[in-house]
Structure 1
Amino acid sequence: MKIHIKNMVCHRCKLAVEQELKQSGYHLQHLQLGEAIIHEELNGQQLHNLDLRLKHLGFELIDDRKSRLVEKVKNLIVELVHHTHEPLTINLSEYLAGQLHYEYNYLSNLFSEAEGTTIEKYYISQKIEKVKELLIYDELTLSEISYQMGYSSVAYLSSQFKKETGLTPTYFKRIKDNKRRNIEEL
């Protein structure tokens, strides 16, 4: 049985969900961001009980097609920004439409309605959080970070960073203990 799980957006999330499923006696067949496949078929009560247990961990089951699609958009963006080391070579809209097999306008409208923000703003906020992480690690120059994150220039990255955080990347780097947010909070 395939179950869709909201807010499962990182490796630690996957581990927490995997542990909960195993503790609940389910046999996990496959697990990826936002989705788990278990061997068992669950009835309504079992789904309700699993949903309650997952909610204690900050997750919840998704049972309608539109919500699952919005979660897939979020998971693709998180995967793209936080777990891929090469910059995107096509437009985000083309990437999402190709991956999900829906027109981008439909995805965009659905996402905005469900999340209260645009796909583009969500993508930018994810990129800025990744930039913060890279600045904190202090292993790459701003120029290297700019390239890795797919920005056309350091100036454009700096401009977008300041717009999102109110700080320049250089100033942020100086006050490293600054407020990174969990992916789930974006």
Structure 2
Amino acid sequence: MAVMQELKKIGLNYITVDLGVVTLPEDITKEQKNQLKQALHSSGLELIEDKKDILVEQIKTAVIESIHYSDTQLKVPFSAYLSNKLNLNYTYLSNMFTESEGITIAHFIITHKIERVKELIQYDELTFSEIAYKMHYSSIAHLSNQFKKMTGITLSFYKTHGQRREINIENL
């Protein structure tokens, strides 16, 4: 919504505005681009122009959408999902992501899965087994081990003593 508002203020028409991507009907002038950069910056956002950075953001967006905003289980490994979605070789995606972010895609995925698990625990609507299944863990033991490894505490301890997440998903 913030991006759409900034585009309207500048007088730029757009075709679509999705998470991390804006499609414009035509090229914009250098002056319009600078206005957009400044407007986005004042809203706490940034314009990404480097193709490598754009691809890294597309990887992040795909992971976040899949883990946080979709209840559909992937029928293929995450590597195949990303390769198909971005139409690029996974090894290339992985190497570029690691070079840019300093962590692997797998670590990024695990970090987001654990944050989603925390959220589901806080909702207190699902059992640990249901959460493990929903988050595509092979077993509750696998989820428990990964949760403890990432957070330093057990699922049960988090459930009884956990605090509300105060980290924005995009900043993980």
Which range, TM-score by smaller chain? over 0.9
Pairing 1:43–2:29 present: yes
- Tell which deviates more after alignment, 42-51 or 145-154: 42-51
Code of the aligned partner of 1:164: M
Q: 1: distance between equivalents of 2:116 and 2:168?
A: 11
Three-state SS of the structure 2 residue aligned to 1:89 is coil
Unaligned runs of 5+ in 1: 1-14
Instruction: Please say if residues 10 and 35 of structure 2, whose CA atoms lie closer than 8 Å, have aligned partners that are also in contact.
Output: no
Q: 2 CA distance for matches of 1:17 and 1:70?
A: 20
The separation in 1 between residues aligned to 2:162 and 2:15, in whole angstroms, is 40
* Match in the other structure for 1:5: none
Structure 2 residue corresponding to 1:103, chosen from 89, 93, 103: 89
Letter of the 1:110 partner, please give it: M
Q: Which residue of the other structure, out of 101, 108, 123, is the alignment partner of 1:137?
A: 123
Alignment partner, residue 8 of structure 1 = none
Distance 1:39 1:89 in 2: 35
SS in 2 for 1:36: strand
1:88 and 2:74 are equivalent in the alignment: yes
User: Structure 2 CA distance, aligned partners of 1:76 and 1:176?
Assistant: 28
SS in 2 for 1:62: coil
CA positional deviation for 1:26: 2.4
Give the percent of matched residue pairs that are identical in Structure 1 and Structure 2.
45
Q: Partner residue of 2:101?
A: 115
The one of the two structures with greater contact order (alpha-carbon pairs below 8 A, sep at least 6) is: 1
Paired residue for 1:20?
A: 6
Aligned CA distance change for structure 1 residues 156 and 137 (closer, same or farther; 3 Å): same
1:173 is matched by which residue type in structure 2? K
In the TM superposition, residue 56 of structure 1 has moved relative to its aligned partner by 2.4
State TM-score, norm by structure 1.
0.86
Q: Which moved more, 1:145-154 or 1:48-57?
A: 48-57
Aligned residues: 172
Q: Deviations over 1:31-65 (max 9, x none)?
A: 11110123453211211221122122232111121
Q: Which amino acid aligns with 2:27?
A: E
Please state how far the C-alpha of 1:157 moved relative to its aligned partner: 0.6
5+ residue gaps, structure 2, are none
> Of Structure 1 and Structure 2, which has the larger fraction of its residues in strand?
1
Contact 1:26 1:40 in 2 (8 A): no
For 1:163, what is the secondary structure of its paired residue? Answer: helix
